[in-house]
Amino acid sequence: MGLSEQDRALYAWQLDVPGFGEAAQEKLRNTTALVSRVGGLGGPLAFQLAAAGIGKLVLAHGGELKPADLNRQILMRHACLGQERAACARETLQAFNPHVEVEAIPENINPANAAAIIEKVDIVFDAAPLFEERFLMNRECVRQGKPMIDCAMYNMEGQVIPIIPGQTACLQCFYPEVPPHWKRRFPVIGAVSALVANIGALEGIKLISGLSPVHAGQIIYLDTMNLDVRKIHTQRNPDCPVCCDL
């Protein structure tokens, strides 16, 4: 089934992008994506996927909205203080693009829910701040053969890693363990997390739609203080505890 007139009207400006077009838009519309955590990084990332016309978003994010979240979590609103963040994010996205289906799960990814949630999506956008969650999604994506766009930031630095199981290194090929001294709370300006989010969203949109090149297996590293972007090639680790059997 091709695009409707409504689709053509909504996405007219991106349909003009060379190499994109109607077939790419259809692929986006037929895709379900998990965005794990919709805070300072996952929030703007989910926003861009909704703007681009992804078919369905599954948002996984636990906890209630606190004042300190509002310097960066742009899917939230002051009126939602004290309420579940996942539900607030869904409301914002649905108001912005009612043609995108949004499912809000008020839990972070954990060992009890990871497999079932990832089973119902085509691609995972990992914006979780804790390595335990990132490792869990990485392991499930490798097991289920699903691509994952891993996004992370700290202070003025960020990185995006598009991972394709069986083709590229996985997250644990180069992070065998949780790095020492990793802290849950870290310094962040919303413009920095949104910048990393936009690169993650773009790499995912390229991967889904066939718009190339996708920087699969590379660490796209940003130093936003100096506006320096580097691409670092990674290699699969034959001793990786997660993907060595692929």
Q: By the 8 A CB rule, do 241 and 135 touch?
A: no
CA distance 66 to 39: 11
Q: Judged by CB, which is closer to Zn ion: 155, or 235?
A: 235
Residue number with CB closer to Zn ion (172 or 224)? 172
Query: Taking the complex as a whole, how short is the minimal distance between the CB of residue 116 and Zn ion, in angstroms?
Result: 23
CB of 168 to Zn ion, least distance (A): 9
Minimum CB–partner distance for residue 170 and Zn ion (Å): 3
Task: Please state, in angstroms and rounded to a whole number, the distance separating the CA atoms of residues 149 and 124.
Answer: 6
If residue 229 lies in a helix (H) or strand (E), which one and from where to where? strand 228-233
Q: Least distance in Å: CB of 194 to Zn ion? A: 29
CB 149 → Zn ion: shortest distance, Å? 16
Q: Which residue's beta carbon is nearest to the bound Zn ion?
A: 240
What are the backbone dihedrals phi and psi of residue 119, each rounded to the nearest 5 degrees, phi first?
A: -60, -30
Partners of residue 153 on adjacent β-strands: 158
- DSSP assignments along 137-206, one per residue: HHHHHHHHT--EEEEEEETTEEEEEEE-TTTS--HHHH-SSPPTT--SS----HHHHHHHHHHHHHHHHH
CA-based angle 107:160:42, to the nearest 5?
Answer: 30
> Minimum Å distance from CB 130 to Zn ion?
19
Contact at 8 Å (CB) between 141 and 165? yes
The residues of the shown chain that bind Zn ion, judged by CB under 5 A, are: 170, 172-173, 240, 242-243
